[in-house]
Amino acid sequence: MRIMRSIGTEPPRTARGVATRARIVAAAAGLMRSSGVANTSLDAVLEASEASKSQLYHYFADKDDLVLAVVQRQAECVLATHNAHLQRVTSIAGLRRWRNAVVELTRKEKCAGGCPLGSFVSELAESDGSRAALARGFAQWQADIVTALEAICGTTPRPRATLVELATTLLAALQGGLLLAQTTRSVQPLELALDLAIDRIAERLARPSRRASGHVGARRGHR
């Protein structure tokens, strides 16, 4: 169902229009993050953003369309926040400072909410449009981490593939750590997971580049 979307989402043509659209997306983002997408009614969004139905449907084709905008906004927010730290990272110590900032932020939020992007995954991963948006967000995030790792390498660059892998594991550790932190209401899993990933990064970037740390085979071997 819902075959022809495409048109219907006119972008605002006025400063005021831009403002309302932004207000709506911001309010929706907040509510959806804390209550889940399906549990957030459009009426609630409208009340929180002090807008009206017609305004919402003036800028968005339907709820799915709004959700897409929310995901994109969340991605931008997360990337902006983390980049503020990551861009200044030039050493392992800097990476650990970033770790501490993440942990501290999570603790401040009392481990509620989880990752602003990650918490959307389970609810949206089966609908193609928003899943792609989430994937783009994570890809960009990963790219930002790679940049930080390159800065850490400094004068002795490493194969890009290695850095990409390390960035992936760091991102996975962050997501898994946040997920467990959210359910156990403790930052400890997050701390452990991030430390593990960062320790590995430190090992790999310290000594001359080698693929694996040397153990039994059967890696990457399946089927």
Partner DNA sequence: CCGATTCTGGACCCTGTAGTCCACCCGTTG
Partner DNA sequence: CAACGGGTGGACTACAGGGTCCAGAATCGG
Task: Note the residues at the interface with DNA (CB under 7 A).
Answer: 10, 12-17, 19-20, 40-44, 51-55, 57-58, 62-64
Near a second copy by CB under 8 A, which window of 9-17, 37-45, 56-64, 76-84?
A: 37-45
Nearest-CA neighbor of 96 among 204, 207, 198? 198
121-160 residues near a second copy, rule: CB under 8 A = 121-123, 125-126, 131, 134-135, 138-139
Identify the residue whose tokens are 């959700």.
67
Which one-letter DSSP state was computed for residue 10? P
Instruction: Compare residues 39 and 209 and give the one whose CB is closer to a second copy.
Output: 39
Could you tell me if 54 and 21 are in contact, meaning their C-beta atoms sit under 8 angstroms apart? no
Interaction of residue 175 with a second copy, rule CB under 8 A: yes
CA 59 – CA 218 distance, rounded (Å): 53
Specify the residue for token string 């110590």. Answer: 93
Among 104, 209, 210, 211, binds a second copy (CB under 8 A): 104
b/e code 44-79 from CB counts within 10 Å (16+ = b):
ebbebbebeeebbebbbbebbbbbbbbbbbbbeebb
- To the nearest whole angstrom, how small is the minimum distance from the Cβ of residue 215 to a second copy? 6
* Partner whose binding site includes residue 10, from a second copy, DNA, none (CB under 5 to 8 Å by kind): DNA
Question: Binding string to a second copy for residues 4 to 33, with x set by CB under 8 A, is what?
Answer: ------------------------------
Kindly tell me which of 51 and 103 has the beta carbon lying closer to a second copy: 103
Contact status, residue 152 vs residue 90, Cβ threshold 8 Å: yes
